[in-house]
């Protein structure tokens, strides 16, 4: 990683400001390596140079011995060069942490408040470190905090259902939850004469109301792949996907499905992409080759098994990137723009993907109601 310009790194390390931060980090790590018990050859290292000169001592720095410093550099190389593998691993480990530590939270009869960032760091970081995740990644902390915050909300709500007039202080005494946390919840829980505003009311979408997909690249997890025939009788695969924990719209399609009140809603918990296997000449289509290549490139060690009895099953849980753009549609004489997956890319390339130009209807396009999403034409691919 490149250090920001405008800062003399050697001069900065000799400055009083750095020495003060270094001393704080050493104290936080109790004057020993954060990855092993060693107290020899210690130094404070940067986990990131993004905040050089304005480091967050808790999150940007770490105390390491010489041997573990090299181990960390090797780990960071894997993390940065194979992000899909890293985030798959992190997501699985965080889910396991939540399952194995849920009983320790006060909402489940334990003594810990796993909604507090400092408690999460104290418990989660050693857990991840023993399993090969060597930095306190914010994605893991955020996921744990969100899980137990929701559990605490449910706990408070159950108490209020039994005793609507109970005060914030009484709830605090009964639960040991943070008093300000309880007050904030009660403030947002606006009570009417005969109706209590339901939890998450402001975030639930009304019928016909949907959050828009951000244009450009997205980090995705494949939920499933199935084989079927297209309208001309040719081979086709249907790829179901959702945005993963690294994406800014994590779980987008699952949320949209849950919020959709229509009786005829389809494709639970996933977006879909239809991909023709063959082109018009009977050869492998560019779209299908792109999908297969991107899956293999995005998942180190994975190779497609062409002899598998269930061809689509092997793709479930694999990472892939996708580029989303606007497509013009016409129905009943009216045109509209909708955002849809334009093509697949590797997981690593999703973060740098540019927003594609909108695909417009030709002037003589007939009006028709699309019964299903139309497979992308090879001409739509950016190569």
- Summarised one tens digit per residue, pLDDT across range 252-266 is 888 776 655 455 555
Alpha-carbon Rg for the chain in angstroms:
25
The pLDDT value given to residue 211: 77
Same domain for 275 and 248? yes
pTM for the full predicted model: 0.54
Same domain, 238 and 340: yes
For the stretch 29-44, pLDDT in tens is 899 988 888 999 998 9
191 burial (CB, 10 Å; 0-12 / 13-18 / 19+) is: exposed
- Residue 73, in any domain of the structure: yes
Q: Looking at the structure, do residues 270 and 195 belong to the same domain, yes or no? A: no
Assigned domain for 211 exists: no
Query: What value does the mean pLDDT of the chain take?
Result: 83
Asked whether residue 89 is domain-assigned, the answer is yes
Residues 6 or more apart whose Cβ sits within 8 Å of residue 8:
none
In percent, the amount of the chain with pLDDT more than 70 equals: 84
pLDDT at 276 (0 to 100): 92
Domain that holds residue 349: 216-380
Are 61 and 87 contained in the same domain? no
Residue 194 pLDDT > 90: no
Element (H, E) at 259: helix 252-259
Q: Is residue 209 part of a domain?
A: no
Q: What is the pLDDT of residue 2?
A: 39
Joined together, the tokens standing for residue 174 give: 């009964």
- Round to whole Å and give the CA distance between 198 and 329: 37
CA 225 to chain centre: 21
Same domain? 30 vs 90: no
SS3 175: helix
**CATH code, domain with 8:** 3.40.1800
CB 115 within 8 A of CB 149: yes
Kindly state whether residues 194 and 99 are assigned to the same domain.
Answer: yes
238 and 376, same domain (yes or no): yes
- Whether residues 68 and 117 share a domain: the answer is no
Which is more confidently placed, 235 or 135? Answer: 235
Q: Within this chain, do residues 236 and 310 fall inside the same structural domain, yes or no? A: yes
172 touches 186 (CB < 8 A): no
272 pairs with which residues across the strands? 240
Listed residues 203, 230, 257: the one ending a domain: 203
Q: Within a 13 Å sphere around the CA of 288, how many CA atoms are in the beta-carbon half?
A: 18
Largest CA distance in the chain: 76
Q: Give the residue among 224, 214, 210, 217 at the shortest CA–CA distance from 314.
A: 224
Do 255 and 348 fall within a single domain? yes
Contacts of 50 (CB under 8 A, 6+ apart): 4, 60
Q: What is the pLDDT confidence band of residue 330, given thresholds at 50, 70 and 90? A: confident
The reply to whether 208 falls in a domain is no
Residue that is last in its domain, among 51, 81, 111:
81
Domain boundary among the residues 203, 228, 246 is at 203
Q: Are 356 and 121 in contact (CB under 8 A)?
A: no
The span from the CA of 100 to the CA of 11, in Å, is 46
Residue 32 belongs to a domain: yes
Number of domains in the chain: 3
What are the pLDDT digits (tens) for 55-114? Answer: 888 888 889 898 888 888 888 777 777 787 788 888 889 999 999 999 999 999 999 999
Residue 137 included in any domain: yes
Q: Are residues 175 and 61 in the same domain?
A: no
pLDDT per position as a tens digit, 273-317: 999 998 888 899 999 999 999 999 999 889 999 998 899 999 999
Q: How far apart are alpha carbons 289 and 224 in whole angstroms?
A: 18
Q: Are residues 104 and 195 in the same domain?
A: yes
């Amino acid at each position: 990683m490149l250090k920001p310009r405008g800062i003399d790194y050697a001069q900065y390390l000799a400055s009083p400001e750095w020495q003060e931060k270094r001393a704080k980090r050493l104290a936080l790590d109790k004057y020993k390596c954060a990855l092993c018990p060693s107290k020899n050859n210690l130094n404070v290292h940067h986990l990131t140079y993004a905040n050089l000169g304005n480091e967050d001592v808790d999150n940007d720095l770490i105390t390491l011995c010489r041997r573990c410093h090299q181990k960390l550099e090797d780990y960071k190389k894997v993390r940065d060069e194979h992000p899909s593998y890293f985030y798959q691993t992190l997501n699985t480990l965080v889910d396991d942490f939540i399952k194995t530590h849920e009983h320790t939270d006060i909402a489940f009869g334990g003594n810990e408040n796993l909604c507090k960032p400092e408690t999460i760091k104290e418990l989660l970081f050693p857990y991840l470190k023993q399993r090969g995740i060597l930095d306190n990644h914010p994605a893991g902390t955020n996921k744990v905090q969100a899980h137990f915050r929701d559990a605490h909300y449910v706990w408070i709500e159950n108490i209020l259902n039994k005793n609507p007039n109970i005060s914030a202080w009484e709830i605090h005494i009964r639960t040991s939850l943070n008093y300000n946390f309880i007050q904030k919840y009660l403030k947002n829980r606006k009570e009417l004469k005969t109706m209590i505003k339901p939890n998450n009311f402001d975030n639930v979408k009304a019928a016909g109301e949907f959050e828009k997909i951000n244009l450009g690249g997205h980090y995705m997890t494949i939920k499933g792949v199935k084989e079927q025939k297209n309208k001309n009788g040719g081979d086709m695969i249907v790829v179901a996907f959702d945005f993963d924990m690294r994406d800014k719209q994590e779980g987008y399609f699952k949320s949209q499905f849950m919020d959709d009140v229509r009786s005829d809603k389809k494709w639970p918990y996933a977006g879909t992409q239809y991909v023709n296997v063959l082109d018009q000449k009977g050869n492998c289509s560019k779209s299908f080759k792109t999908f297969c290549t991107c899956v293999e490139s995005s998942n180190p060690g994975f190779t497609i098994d062409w002899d598998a009895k269930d061809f689509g099953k092997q793709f479930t849980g694999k990472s892939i990137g996708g580029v989303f753009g606007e497509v013009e549609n016409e129905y009943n004489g009216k045109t509209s723009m909708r955002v849809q997956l334009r093509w697949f890319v590797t997981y690593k390339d999703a973060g740098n993907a540019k927003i594609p130009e909108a695909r417009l209807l030709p002037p003589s396009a007939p009006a028709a109601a699309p019964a299903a999403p139309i497979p992308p034409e090879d001409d739509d691919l950016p190569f």
